[in-house]
């Protein structure tokens, strides 16, 4: 992660009227996700921040974690998914994954990319 940047030395670059979200810290030590609009600090929803405590430092947010999909899973994790998707034992699924029999990886990728919509429970007077 990047180092804290002193606001006296540099403020986040405001492109098109606002910066991207950053992690900011106030003189009281409170850390918040904010953006700088070129003149004041704002919350991600656009609401201007109360100026009670001055923002002294900021740093860019880290990148979001990568979404794990069947294409990024290792053999053991993929076997667990294959076990559920194909309805076979975990040992059988692991063997199928290792040999990539019957396109197991592709079947898992397809199933994870397009999960079935679970049926809704019927409404009853008790549920309302």
Task: Tell me how many helices (H) and strands (E) the chain has.
Answer: 3, 5
Is residue 52 assigned to a domain? yes
- Per the structure, the complete domain to which residue 79 belongs is given by 70-112
* Cα-based angle 45, 49, 52 (whole degrees, multiple of 5): 160
One domain, residues 54 and 94:
no
Closest residue by Cα to residue 49 from 61, 41, 57: 41
Q: Which residues contact 12 (CB under 8 A, 6 or more apart)?
A: 19, 20, 22, 35, 36, 58
pLDDT digits (tens, 9 = 90+) for 50-103: 777 889 999 988 776 666 555 566 666 777 766 666 666 777 777 777 777 667
* Gap between the Cα atoms of 28 and 12, Å rounded: 20
Q: What percent of the chain has pLDDT over 90?
A: 9
One domain, residues 56 and 75:
no
Q: Which residue has the higher pLDDT, 3 or 84?
A: 3
Is residue 126 assigned to a domain? no
Is residue 124 assigned to a domain? no
Instruction: Specify the pLDDT at position 128.
Output: 45
Is residue 47 assigned to a domain? yes
One domain, residues 43 and 79:
no
One domain, residues 18 and 36:
yes
One domain, residues 55 and 83:
no
| DSSP 3-state of 112 | helix
Q: Give the total number of structural domains in the chain.
A: 2
Lowest mean pLDDT among 6-10, 12-16, 124-128: 124-128
One domain, residues 75 and 56:
no
């Amino acid at each position: 992660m990047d180092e804290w940047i002193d606001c006296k030395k540099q403020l986040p670059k405001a492109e098109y009227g606002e910066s991207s979200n950053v992690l900011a810290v106030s003189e009281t030590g409170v850390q918040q996700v904010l953006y700088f609009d070129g003149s004041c600090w704002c919350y991600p929803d656009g609401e201007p921040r109360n100026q009670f405590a001055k923002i002294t430092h900021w740093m860019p947010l880290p990148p979001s974690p990568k979404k794990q999909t069947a294409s990024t899973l290792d053999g053991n994790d993929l076997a667990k998914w294959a076990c559920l998707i194909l309805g076979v034992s975990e040992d059988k699924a692991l063997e199928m994954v290792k040999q990539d029999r019957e396109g197991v990886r592709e079947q898992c990728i397809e199933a994870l990319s397009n999960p079935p919509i679970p049926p809704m429970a019927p409404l009853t007077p008790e549920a309302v």
